[in-house]
Amino acid sequence: MSLGMMLSLLGAIIVSTISGIGSALGISISGSAANGLLSEEPEKFGKSLILVALPGTQGIYGLVSGVVILIVLGFFGEVRDPSTMQGLAILGVGVFEALVLWWSGIFQGKTCAAGMGIVAKNPEHAMKGVINAIMVETYAVFGFLAAVLILFVAIAPGLN
């Protein structure tokens, strides 16, 4: 296996793993807040569930990005062997996106946890907390789109 391939696969591993860690941390933050609320008002489970689940999307984006790297490398067809520089570029994309998704997962978890206050005091306004959390999601989507575009438009055409 070439150095370029190893670096590329490392990029896929990093984006899949680090984004999942960020999602797990975000869900633990929002889930802890929800558990506090639900200990007093278990009937608000449905209203709190979306706020708990939202930070999990970053892990999904990271997993899809890891698969996109494998697609670019041809793992579902004819495998292409990237040069060392191409491997570094793919690794860079993986690290860049991993950091964006990791941080946005954590910060979305904090925003969702704060949204639990809305669910607790004014459950009919729960969607306001969801909308605020989706604002954080926007930047995870931007990072995901940038990574996919870089992989398909800038890197994939030059692979052997």
pLDDT for the residue 74: 95
State the CB neighbour count (10 A cutoff) for residue 135: 10
What is residue 81's three-state secondary structure? coil
Listed in sequence order, the residues at least 6 apart from 120 whose beta carbon sits closer than 8 Å to its beta carbon are 37, 41, 44
Nearest CA to 11 among 68, 81, 75? 68
For 159, phi then psi, to 5°, come to: -75, 150
Rounded-to-integer distance, Cα 133 and Cα 44, Å: 18
pTM, rounded to two decimals: 0.93
Q: pLDDT per position in the chain (160 positions), as tens?
A: 899 999 999 999 999 999 999 999 999 999 999 999 999 999 999 999 999 999 999 999 999 999 999 999 999 989 999 999 999 999 999 999 999 999 999 999 999 999 999 999 999 999 999 999 999 999 999 999 999 999 999 999 998 7
Residue-range domains of the chain with CATH: 3-158 (1.20.120.610)
- The confidence score (pLDDT) of residue 160 equals 74
Residues 106-130 as b or e (16 or more Cβ within 10 Å = b): bbbbbbbbbbbebbbeeeeebeebb
Cα separation of 30 and 133, whole Å? 11
Instruction: For residue range 111-147, list pLDDT tens digits in order.
Output: 999 999 999 999 999 999 999 999 999 999 999 999 9
